[in-house]
Chain A
Amino acid sequence: MPFLGYVGVFLLLPTGIVIWDAVRNPAGQFDLSSLKLLFNPEVRSFFTGSLELSALSSVIGAVLGAILAYAVASGNPDGAVRRFYLAGSGVLAQFGGVTLAFAFNAAIGPSTGFLFHAGWYYAFPGGIGLIYIYFQIPLMVLVFLPAIDGLKVQWREATENLGGSTWQYWRHVGFPLLAPAFIGATLLLFANALSAYATIQAWENQIAYTAPQQIYIAINSEVGLASNEGDIIAVGMVVLVAIIMVGYFGLQRRAARWLR
């Protein structure tokens, strides 16, 4: 019951309000046609931008993070290296927003002379994708490490006893076991990037590339174009995140079967 109350107040109620406001016309009457805005090419480009950026940063982050997680897992389980990596990942996974964007700008931004061809730094989604990977990799390490730890040494020994090579172990045992967890973790990273707002807004805020940026513009307009565009885009985001979360829970269930 307390959980239901919590979910109700912090998840269902805001979602309901957003949907309620999204299906109004400027006169405040019920009007489903306002949702047509989601198919307007301009608005669609914000969703495409969000998806591109999330896909790029989550796939690269997941691959690099998984390799790092494997390296950490194969070390001493009580060793200082593992504790250091876990603590570091815990901190860095939360290091985003204005501080991260400013750190990148000040460290390697075009004005520092560090980059010979600065064009790509502000290119979308390349430049901002690089910045996102900085918090995606640690998050991947945190969520993927338990899955790697779940690989039992006995399985590997069994493969060897049956005459299997390392390649065969990974091809037939390791990868199939880890695949659901890997895809699930990638989806989590994807959703993480999809909802990130402060980092990209600090990296650049004169052009909107992603849906969260456009929501900010719509609800904070100083130039007199007030409308419920923000609510409508938010509904689109809710639908996207819902799809991803359904996929995530499905995969989570499959992965959990092996880890029990």
Chain B
Amino acid sequence: MKALIAAAKQEGTLNVIALPPTWANYGNIIKAFTKTYGIKVVSANPDGSSQDEVDAVKSENGTSKAPDVMDVGMAVALVSTNLFAPYETSAWSSIPAAQKDPKGLWTQDYGGYMSIGYNSAKFGTITSVSQLLGPKFKNAVALNGNPTQANAALSGVMMANLAQGGTADSVAKGVAFFHQLKQKGNFSPVQATGATIKAGTTPVVINWDYLSTASVVGQGANWKVFVPSNAILGGYYAQAINKTAPHPAAARLWEEFLFSQGASGGQNLWLQGGARPVEMTAMTSNGSIDKTAAAALPPIAGTPVFLTATQATDAATYLAANWAKAVK
């Protein structure tokens, strides 16, 4: 570890990509890393997608600007392993086996559950997905993106699918639900952002819980986030190191920092941003978890569902053929 720190300090810089400062507390995580190790973090294209990250690794291959590390969705991670360098952090054993590549090419880092964020001053308390079909939700319900392209939106449709009695193998009932939502005039096709929530254009947003917390979307106590008990859909992002990283030591030190369980390590910082770190179970049993931040997460009652790669691809294929028809 000492040798790694020395080598990383020698390199002096770390290139990251597609990390929005408000996303899962990344703004503070980057600041904390620079403060701890004195390594400058160059953050490119903060609003980019997972695909943008992989494209940048390919197009800037060999230059000093190429991203050193990536934080990508699983669909992109699984088809891009030829770009990754294997690395096992010292926290490797605390990460459940299903959440890491056996060779360490990628490691899931943080995640959350599909949730419904809403303005409780306007709508009272929402307890189920079917309630959103009611007349008071006219033009109110938005997804985070187009489900034929964005993973968060695909997961939103899948969550509605589970709530309507569907299974993870077929997203058809979710699409049917959004068809009904559109028929009733409740579906808002606007991209939900902090600004649209503030303007009141999207008072109900189906999104990952860590992207919907009141502090992230700039709302007060009236903004509530809940995870429907019959439709707990989880999703994790994954860390990977560029195998031709211009700053290989800094990249590995960044991973050590992200997966460290310390009070100001990456895992607790993610938790403070409302995301669930991958080592949460291990940290809860060894007591290193930030208990206040853990208690602030939306409660989960039931067994979460995680999509397999095949289920995710099947859902994407079904959506590509049926989504536009259902909601136009």
Contact of B51 with A225 in the complex, beta carbons under 8 Å: no
Bound Cα distance from A109 to B198, whole angstroms = 13
Q: Is B146 an interface residue (CB 8 A)?
A: yes
Query: Which residues from 183 to 235 on chain A have a C-beta closer than 8 Å to any C-beta of chain B?
Result: 201-209, 216-217, 219-226
Size bracket of the B interface: 35 or more
Q: A204-B189, A223-B151 are in contact. Are A105 and B76 (CB under 8 A)?
A: no
Q: Is B313 an interface residue (CB 8 A)?
A: yes
Contact of A225 with B146 in the complex, beta carbons under 8 Å: no
Per-position binary interface string of chain A over residues 96-123, scored 1 when its CB falls under 8 Å from any chain B CB and 0 otherwise: 0000001001100111100000110010
Q: Which residues of A contact B79 (CB under 8 A)?
A: 224, 226
Q: Is B200 an interface residue (CB 8 A)?
A: yes
Contact of B142 with A206 in the complex, beta carbons under 8 Å: yes
Q: Which residues of B contact A221 (CB under 8 A)?
A: 51, 148-149, 316
Bound Cα distance from A102 to B200, whole angstroms = 12
Q: Which residues of A contact B309 (CB under 8 A)?
A: 224
Q: Is A45 an interface residue (CB 8 A)?
A: yes
Contact of A222 with B139 in the complex, beta carbons under 8 Å: no
Contact of A207 with B327 in the complex, beta carbons under 8 Å: yes
Q: Is B328 an interface residue (CB 8 A)?
A: yes
Contact of A207 with B146 in the complex, beta carbons under 8 Å: yes
CB proximity of B139 to chain A, nearest CB, Å: 4
CB proximity of A27 to chain B, nearest CB, Å: 15
Contact of A111 with B203 in the complex, beta carbons under 8 Å: yes
Bound Cα distance from A225 to B79, whole angstroms = 11
CB proximity of A226 to chain B, nearest CB, Å: 7
Contact of B191 with A223 in the complex, beta carbons under 8 Å: no
Bound Cα distance from A220 to B50, whole angstroms = 8
Q: A202-B191, A206-B189 are in contact. Are A217 and B146 (CB under 8 A)?
A: yes
Bound Cα distance from A23 to B59, whole angstroms = 22
CB proximity of B240 to chain A, nearest CB, Å: 15
Q: Is B99 an interface residue (CB 8 A)?
A: no
Per-position binary interface string of chain A over residues 116-149, scored 1 when its CB falls under 8 Å from any chain B CB and 0 otherwise: 0011001010000000000000000000000000
Contact of B151 with A105 in the complex, beta carbons under 8 Å: no
Contact of A220 with B327 in the complex, beta carbons under 8 Å: no
Stretch at the interface among B127-135, B223-231, B317-325: B317-325
Q: Is A78 an interface residue (CB 8 A)?
A: no
Bound Cα distance from A112 to B139, whole angstroms = 11
Q: Which residue of chain A lies nearest to B317 when distances are taken between CB atoms in the complex?
A: A225
Q: A42-B324, A207-B328, A208-B324 are in contact. Are A220 and B52 (CB under 8 A)?
A: yes
Contact of B195 with A102 in the complex, beta carbons under 8 Å: yes
Contact of B328 with A209 in the complex, beta carbons under 8 Å: yes
Contact of A223 with B148 in the complex, beta carbons under 8 Å: yes
Query: Which residues from 241 to 293 on chain B have a C-beta closer than 8 Å to any C-beta of chain A?
Result: none
Q: A119-B185, A205-B189 are in contact. Are A223 and B142 (CB under 8 A)?
A: no
Bound Cα distance from A106 to B201, whole angstroms = 8
Bound Cα distance from A177 to B323, whole angstroms = 48
Q: Which residue of chain B lies nearest to A203 when distances are taken between CB atoms in the complex?
A: B190
Q: Is B70 an interface residue (CB 8 A)?
A: no
